[in-house]
Chain A
Amino acid sequence: MITAFNISFALCLVALIVAFVGLLNKREIVGRIGFGVNILAVAALTVYIVMRWMAAGRAPFSNMFESLVLFAWTILVVYIFVYKKLKLPIVTAALSLMVVLTLAYATTFGADIRPLVPALQSNWLTVHVFTCFLGYGGFAVSFIAAISYVIASRENSKAAYETKDSLEVVMAKTVAFGFLFLTVGIMTGAVWANSAWGTYWSWDPKETWSLVTWLVYAGFLHCRFIKGWRGQKSAWMSILGFISVLFTYFGVNFLLKGLHSYL
């Protein structure tokens, strides 16, 4: 089983190398090769997740190692869906780097399959974690698009202008996607908590920070679609939102205690 993980990791590393080659050599074929390798990496990660699921007899979404693998998978899946709109070498390179760092970080945690405490033995775990991480994947891609937008804004060429247009679209679409799935994730978590503990909201630090993240992105969407915010203002809000995602995911685990201390 660990072989499937190693193959996935190796493919992500190859994708990263190709992406960096793509930064120097902007021919389309390099981008296509990188995209192909990323598809293979997603396929290998999918095989690994399925194998782990079968071995454990439950969805492999219950500790840091498993969630980081899922996070890498969702980033790649969202990236593949927006690739047509965003064939930019810098975005591909940044996303590949993010995926490799996520998987490398995952290897610092134990990959052992452990039995679940009773509270986690629920099908809601699968839906809750999966939807939250689909949301995180969307926000991660939006974040990279936003960073790229800020960088592209320093140039005044026609190419930079067109690039910014693509980035703008992807930034908004991935935030909308992420927001929908984060909402589903928070709500399925609430339903699960109500079936396990009799309360759908207990101001647990992870819950509270997910609400903060939700509020930031709700602000992003309202500013964009009602106030008409565009460009750098939108990009900086997306960056702020992703900082909140990172704190919700990592910061709460390491700095604050609560019901989610296992993940």
Chain B
Amino acid sequence: MSGLINFLTSLKLTLTVLLVIAVACIAGTVLPQGADVLKYLEANPGAQSQMDLLGFLGLTNIFYCWWFIFLLCFLSLSLSICTFRRFRGALRRKSGLRWKDLGSLFSHISLLLILAGCVARSIWGLNGYLPLREGETKTKFQVETGFAELPFEIHLEDFEIEFYGSDEDEHVQDSLSEKVVVLNHDGQVVAEMSSELDAGQAVGPVQLKVLKRIPDFVVDTATGGVVSRSEEMHNPALQLEIVEGGTTNTQWLFALYPGFNMHNKEGADRPHLDFRYEVYVHSGSEPGVKDYKSTLVVKEDGVEVKKKTIEVNRPLSYKGYTFYQSGFNPDDHKWTSLQVVKDPGVPLVYAGFLMMIIGLAMVFYVDPNLSVDSHGGGKNSIE
């Protein structure tokens, strides 16, 4: 029996299990998983038999398949016995218990706590989806297997979306990117240059320079001169000086009207190059949306018991259920989309996180044991 326990808690076996888990994790990021399998098959219709084989081996759902969960359980068992034995050994030691013994104990128990939290979530947890329209009250939310009942009512009082550019955020201005694109008459890009004032560049024999940059171009009818109506980029325009073969021309380029380029004089020779002034605003993956907020009211028997405006990163929690702002309907801003989670494992997981950090700090820094005995090659154990 002790031989089996020694084998189960041997470092060699534990490291081998860690290695297999690491390889499985890598496979899980490389092979199509879950819903991605269908997308993969749409793109590669001939791969059905390979996907069937991978599916049979659990390789298309690695993180939830039986052998991966078995490996995690095995690791937990091995860790539990190992931690217990090592701590017992430390207690029996003549020199007494050291900080690093406690640190090691903490960091290993923390892993067990985290894994216990994950198990609690998978057994007692719920994860679902709740679309709500302004003024609507619901007591159920959608889960994978149908609907789950809430022990209270949830009411959407208000939903609002904020967009970048609707206020005076300084970094909104900074989010603009702009440039001047130089093209030949076939429409091919031959160069790009900065649109900053006085920026200059030579493109072959042609010398270019930015003379003016106007955020909101308008011609003053009284003076006939060009002015900016505001500081906002409502009609960005740029005046370019083009020097070619001793002749100097100027040309206005408009970001919103690339085909309408004003030359300095009627009938001016068309330059050998074309120019385009390009301005990009918020070219991120979700352009424009700064925030979206739902004002939720929790009611019990029709009486308001809690009210909170939630947004991404600021959920509402009540009686073990947490409501997360997850999305909205871009075509109808009266609708909000909430994620509803019940996860009794979270306190365990967070306690595990805290213990792990404290434990590692104790092992490495409170009672450090990092000195080297490379000549002797002996063990420098934290046991």
A binds B: yes
Quick check: A113 and B26 within 8 Å, CB to CB? no
CB contacts (< 8 Å) of A110 on chain B: these are 177
* Selected contact of A183 from candidates B176, B285, B360, CB within 8 Å: B360
- Give A122-160 interface residues, CB cut-off 8 Å to B: 122, 124
**Closest CB of chain A to B109's CB: distance in Å?**
15
Is A252 an interface residue when CB atoms closer than 8 A count as contact? yes
Give the complex CA separation of A112 and B289 in angstroms.
18
A-B contact pairs, 27 of them (CB 8 A): A57-B171, A58-B171, A112-B174, A115-B172, A118-B312, A118-B313, A121-B313, A124-B313, A168-B372, A168-B374, A176-B364, A195-B314, A196-B312, A198-B127, A199-B127, A203-B63, A208-B25, A208-B28, A212-B25, A222-B15, A223-B15, A225-B380, A226-B383, A227-B379, A230-B374, A252-B29, A262-B284
Is A263 an interface residue when CB atoms closer than 8 A count as contact? no
Closest residue to A198 on the B side, CB-wise? B341
Give the complex CA separation of A119 and B289 in angstroms.
11
Q: Which interface class (under 10, 10 to 19, 20 to 34, 35 or more) fits B? A: 35 or more
Quick check: B360 and A113 within 8 Å, CB to CB? no
CB contacts (< 8 Å) of B11 on chain A: these are 222, 226-227
Query: Which 3 A/B pairs are nearest by Cβ-Cβ distance?
Result: A228-B379, A198-B341, A118-B312
CB contacts (< 8 Å) of B38 on chain A: these are none
Query: Contacts A114-B284, A177-B364, A212-B22; is A225 near B171 (CB within 8 Å)?
Result: no
Give the complex CA separation of A55 and B173 in angstroms.
11
Is B97 an interface residue when CB atoms closer than 8 A count as contact? no
CB contacts (< 8 Å) of B324 on chain A: these are 196-198
- Stretch of A33-41, A43-51, A213-221 that contacts chain B: A213-221
CB contacts (< 8 Å) of A200 on chain B: these are 346, 349
CB contacts (< 8 Å) of B63 on chain A: these are 203
A side interface size, CB within 8 A: 62
Quick check: B374 and A165 within 8 Å, CB to CB? yes
**Closest CB of chain A to B359's CB: distance in Å?**
10
* Selected contact of A218 from candidates B18, B311, B340, CB within 8 Å: B18
Query: Contacts A57-B171, A114-B284, A191-B350; is A172 near B28 (CB within 8 Å)?
Result: no
CB contacts (< 8 Å) of B146 on chain A: these are none
Give the complex CA separation of A215 and B170 in angstroms.
43
- Give B351-383 interface residues, CB cut-off 8 Å to A: 353, 356-357, 360-361, 364, 369-372, 374, 377-383
* Selected contact of B286 from candidates A57, A117, A227, CB within 8 Å: A117
Closest residue to A211 on the B side, CB-wise? B25
Quick check: B175 and A114 within 8 Å, CB to CB? yes
Is B291 an interface residue when CB atoms closer than 8 A count as contact? yes
**Closest CB of chain B to A108's CB: distance in Å?**
15
Quick check: A164 and B374 within 8 Å, CB to CB? yes
Give chain B's interface secondary structure class: mixed
Closest residue to A1 on the B side, CB-wise? B174
Is A106 an interface residue when CB atoms closer than 8 A count as contact? no
Quick check: A225 and B369 within 8 Å, CB to CB? yes
Closest residue to B371 on the A side, CB-wise? A169
- Give B1-28 interface residues, CB cut-off 8 Å to A: 11, 14-15, 18-19, 21-22, 25-26, 28
Quick check: A114 and B282 within 8 Å, CB to CB? yes
CB contacts (< 8 Å) of A115 on chain B: these are 164, 169, 171-172, 175, 282, 284, 290
Is B339 an interface residue when CB atoms closer than 8 A count as contact? yes
- Give B285-340 interface residues, CB cut-off 8 Å to A: 285-286, 289-292, 311-315, 322, 324-326, 339-340
Is B343 an interface residue when CB atoms closer than 8 A count as contact? yes
Give the complex CA separation of A118 and B324 in angstroms.
13
Give the complex CA separation of A55 and B175 in angstroms.
11
Quick check: B290 and A118 within 8 Å, CB to CB? yes
CB contacts (< 8 Å) of A261 on chain B: these are 285
Is A61 an interface residue when CB atoms closer than 8 A count as contact? no
Give the complex CA separation of A256 and B292 in angstroms.
28
**Closest CB of chain B to A81's CB: distance in Å?**
13
Quick one: CB contact mask for B33-62 with A, threshold 8 Å, 1 for yes?
A: 100000000000000000000000000000
Quick check: A195 and B177 within 8 Å, CB to CB? no
CB contacts (< 8 Å) of A191 on chain B: these are 350, 353
Give the complex CA separation of A252 and B22 in angstroms.
15
Closest residue to B312 on the A side, CB-wise? A118
Give the complex CA separation of A205 and B19 in angstroms.
18
Quick one: CB contact mask for A177-198 with B, threshold 8 Å, 1 for yes?
A: 1011001100100111011111
Is A71 an interface residue when CB atoms closer than 8 A count as contact? no
Give the complex CA separation of A176 and B363 in angstroms.
9
Is A79 an interface residue when CB atoms closer than 8 A count as contact? no
**Closest CB of chain A to B329's CB: distance in Å?**
16
Give the complex CA separation of A227 and B356 in angstroms.
22
